[in-house]
């Protein structure tokens, strides 16, 4: 055998040996439930479907802990002088923070603690008890901001993460899905809750509800309890970010939310009422009471009238009508289409400002 033949022989043997070794490693990894590459250092990105770490990294730094500082100014700002209240979300580089009204309403002085260790005293910009939202403000540089997409509404079945400081044990992430949307009409308390089974406990209030990309979709506000029992029952609520963002803008601009009002009470049309009042369908709101000093009375709206349109928009029920009235600017005129004693009429009413329940 010459040198060339010898070289070819050994080359083939080496290649064959490498192939057999690779097959052996692959078979061993398969039997152990691992991938072939598990024996080597992995450089591939972990599947996002298996972890929400990236979403948490995007949003969590902007979720702050909110404390009440003792009114005793002689006490230092330390953990012994602070009373835990809840959580909040940094919404802008100017330092505006969204939280719940019930979190800060009884605070003497509000201290905001960031996840990077910084602490700030804050001022209340404005509050809206109707939606349980408040805006507070801190002065700081390089503040972490939460990602927001107002055109990405939450859908039933979406996976969500709740971020907050439950029981003051430190920032905590819980996971669940959107169980329902539209809980409570905006007209009954001006809320339109998202329902989730992500755990929201004491201290989570005012914190962030985010999607799996890390974008803010709601402000955590309440957990459902039965008969005063403690713990989480898998039914929690958050204020949708589109509503919360709108309220925030009004609070920053005016310090409060200015809502329209007409001064009447009403209820949805049911089949019995439709038959009694000779109505063509179940759309509309039947008037049950009118404030004698309110705008509705001045426009001659009467009990048993049925409002079918508000500024030419069909009114299917009470929630939409109260929403449209609340969104109207006080002092402007609105046109009501009503049915009175079977006859269609139109009334022009000057919208008042809400300062008590409609």
Residues carrying an active site annotation: 102, 132, 205
CA distance 206 to 204: 6
Residue pair 95/110 in contact (Cβ under 8 Å)? The answer is no
CA distance 108 to 4: 92
Query: How far from each other are the two terminal CA atoms of the chain, in whole angstroms?
Result: 106
**Residue in the block written with tokens 């713990």:** 231
Angle value at C-alpha 207, between 205 and 211, nearest 5 degrees: 130
Residues forming a β-bridge with 240 = 218
Spell out where the chain has E strands: 63-69, 82-90, 96-100, 109-113, 119-128, 133-137, 159-164, 172-183, 193-196, 208-211, 216-223, 236-240, 260-261, 264-268, 285-290, 306-310, 313-314, 333-340, 343-350, 352-353
Residue pair 324/346 in contact (Cβ under 8 Å)? The answer is no
Supply 233's token pair.
């029952």
Q: In Å, how far from its chain's centre is CA 310?
A: 29
Angle value at C-alpha 98, between 97 and 104, nearest 5 degrees: 95
Tell which residue, 297, 300, 295, 291, has the closest CA to residue 265.
Answer: 291
Supply 306's token pair.
């049925």
User: Which letter, b or e, does each residue of 228-249 get, where b requires 16 or more Cβ atoms within 10 Å of its Cβ?
Assistant: eeeebeebbbbbbbbbbbbbbe
Q: In Å, how far from its chain's centre is CA 59?
A: 14
CA distance 157 to 159: 6
């Amino acid at each position: 055998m010459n040198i060339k033949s010898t070289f070819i022989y050994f080359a083939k043997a080496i290649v064959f040996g490498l192939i057999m070794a690779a097959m052996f490693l692959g078979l061993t990894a398969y039997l152990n439930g691992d991938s072939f590459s598990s024996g080597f250092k992995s450089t591939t990105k972990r599947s996002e479907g298996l972890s929400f770490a990236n979403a948490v990294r995007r949003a969590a730094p902007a979720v702050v802990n909110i404390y009440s500082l003792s009114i005793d100014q002689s006490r230092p700002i330390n953990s012994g002088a602070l009373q835990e209240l809840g959580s909040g979300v940094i919404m802008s580089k100017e330092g505006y923070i969204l939280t719940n009204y019930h979190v800060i309403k009884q605070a003497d002085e509000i201290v905001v603690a960031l996840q990077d260790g910084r602490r700030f005293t804050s001022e209340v910009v404005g509050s809206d008890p109707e939606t349980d939202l408040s805006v507070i403000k801190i002065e700081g540089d390089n503040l972490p901001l939460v990602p927001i997409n107002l055109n990405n509404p939450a859908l039933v079945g979406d996976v969500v993460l709740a971020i907050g400081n439950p029981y003051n044990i430190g920032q905590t992430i819980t996971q669940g899905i959107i169980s329902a949307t539209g809980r409570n009409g905006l007209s009954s308390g001006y809320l339109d809750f998202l329902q989730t089974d992500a755990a929201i406990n004491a201290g989570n209030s005012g914190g962030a509800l985010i999607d799996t990309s890390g974008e803010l979709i709601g402000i955590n506000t309440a957990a459902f309890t039965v008969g005063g029992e403690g713990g989480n029952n898998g039914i929690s609520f958050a204020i949708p970010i589109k509503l919360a963002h709108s309220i925030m803008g009004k609070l920053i601009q005016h310090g409060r939310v200015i809502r329209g009002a007409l001064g009447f009470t009403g209820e949805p049309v049911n089949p019995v009422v439709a038959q009694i009042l000779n109505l063509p369908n179940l759309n509309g709101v039947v008037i049950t009471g009118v404030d004698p000093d309110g705008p509705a009375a001045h426009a001659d709206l009467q009990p048993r009238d049925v409002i079918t349109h508000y500024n030419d928009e069909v009114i299917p029920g009470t929630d939409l009508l109260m929403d449209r009235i609340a969104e109207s600017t006080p002092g402007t005129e609105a046109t009501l289409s009503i049915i009175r004693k079977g006859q269609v009429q139109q009334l022009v009413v000057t919208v008042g400002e809400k300062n008590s329940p409609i």
